[in-house]
Amino acid sequence: MYSLKCIECGKEWGDDHYTCECGGLLEVRMNLDEIEVDFKLDGNNITVWKYKSLLPVKMDPVSLGEGGTPLYRAERLEKETGIRRIYIKHEGLNPSGSFKDRGMTVGVTKAMELGKRAVACASTGNTSASMAMYAAKAGMRAYVLLPAGKVALGKVAQALMHGAKVIAIKGNFDDALRIVREVCEKEGLYLLNSVNPFRPEGQKTIAYEVADEIGVPDRVCLPVGNAGNISAIYKGFRELVEIGLTESMPKMTGIQAEGAAPIYRAFVEGKDDVTPVKNPETIATAIRIGNPVNARKALKAVYDTKGLVEIVSDDEIIAAQKFLAAREGIGVEPASAASVAGLRKLAERGDISPDETVVCVVTGNLLKDPETVVRVCGEPVSVEASMEAVLNSIYNLV
Ligand code: AN7
């Protein structure tokens, strides 16, 4: 049904591995010639598991109803940017409130198949929330390493309440990932970061769902941190072409935060790998990552589709978050708004054609990061409990 191959040297490995002896990441290669695809791209019954025939697991999935997220038309954003068709795929409406659930349902199901009792990850927040939730459903122990003080409150709350052991380290995400990889190696915990080749397999269903609902768009625009998602979505669209279900590829367009942009720098210089950023910083803590493990895959996806990589400032991120929430009714966290901030910038500069159909993937829910909201919107006005006081407030008399 599939094999697990090193993306650098091509060596084949068994299921219970993440990296090759040469240091390369492993990737699932579905045997597309042999697989009997048992779904149609007819827009019906869209969920992650509609596409099980293209997912590398056999057993009944550990599922909480992931996928099938809304694809909204964003008419005010179209008007503002002059781009003909813009859709927003709201991944914040997955069970744990982020796109990570797609990868986790597949990753935790694989952990079950392998007979694992405990899973672990490093996280800027959403991966940990999602992993804790699916581990709870599966009855597994969960261990989470977070960069202390740099994870949005809603995400920490989820990881804690779903029963994970949450450890905040005095370092950044890149440190946490390095350490958790060592811990997993030593203790036999199952690692569920996107270096795990089964995680991106779940995430590629974003591509399937978009193709299922509106066909292949001209461009997919999304925030990039560790670069797992952009690589996974590229893989999903590529597989559909290989099977013959679709004919074209979207231009993969990654948006990074200005202060955490190693992939952007590599793209501008035409390189196929990154120089890590030592002290990444951005208000979008989800993508505060300086040494993205999937960088090589992501750059390949961008070059191969004639896509783009762009950077946005914290101010542009917050402006886009406010626009989406207040003008389109779409509530997302700062990192997610980066995709829209990037699209606005590219459109303004004339880097993308007004004739395009663009899908922006917004990756996490507004409720994930309430502290940033209060910081940028302020607290509610407080008045006496009387109609007069309320009317005065409405008419701005006080
Ligand atoms: C909302 O949770 O890396 O480029 O540890 O939470 O695939 O890393 C989160 C990443 C975008 C970037 N948007 O995706 C983690 C973590 C949101 C995110 C990204 C993340 P990748």
Burial zone of 93 (CB within 10 Å; 0-12 exposed, 13-18 middle, 19+ buried): middle
Q: Which atom of ligand 1 is nearest to the CA of 203?
A: 7
pLDDT in tens, 274-326: 999 999 999 999 999 999 999 999 999 999 999 999 999 999 999 999 999 99
Assign 58 to helix, strand or coil. Answer: coil
Q: Which atom of ligand 1 is nearest to the CA of 129?
A: 2
Assign 342 to helix, strand or coil. Answer: helix
Tell me the best of 143, 229, 367 to mutate to test the pocket of ligand 1, counting ligand atoms within 8 Å of each CB and taking the most.
229
pLDDT in tens, 323-372: 999 999 999 999 999 999 999 999 999 999 999 999 999 999 999 999 99
DSSP labels for 109-168?
Answer: HHHHHTT--EEEEE-SSHHHHHHHHHHHHHT-EEEEEEETT-S-HHHHHHHHHTT-EEEE
Q: What CATH class has 71-97+199-376? A: alpha beta
Residue 302 Cα to ligand 1 midpoint, Å, equals 18
pLDDT in tens, 73-130: 999 999 999 999 999 999 999 999 999 999 999 999 999 999 999 999 999 999 999 9
pLDDT in tens, 140-183: 999 999 999 999 999 999 999 999 999 999 999 999 999 999 99
Assign 83 to helix, strand or coil. Answer: coil
Mean of per-residue pLDDT scores for the chain: 97
Residues with CB under 6 A from ligand 1: 98, 123-127, 194, 223-229, 286-287, 333, 335-336, 363-364
Q: Whose CA is nearest to atom 11 of ligand 1?
A: 223
**Which residues lie below 8 Å from residue 387, measured CB to CB, with a gap of 6+?**
none
Tell me the best of 96, 126, 204 to mutate to test the pocket of ligand 1, counting ligand atoms within 8 Å of each CB and taking the most.
126
Identify the bridge partners of residue 232 per DSSP, sorted by sequence position.
none
Tell me the best of 166, 363, 369, 372 to mutate to test the pocket of ligand 1, counting ligand atoms within 8 Å of each CB and taking the most.
363
The rounded distance, in Å, linking the Cα atoms of 93 and 98 is: 7
Structure tokens at 71: 């694809």
- What is the rounded average pLDDT of the residues 375-395? 94
Structure tokens at 9: 């040297």
Q: Whose CA is nearest to atom 9 of ligand 1?
A: 286
The rounded distance, in Å, linking the Cα atoms of 44 and 190 is: 34
Structure tokens at 156: 């920490």
pTM of the predicted model, to two decimals? 0.97
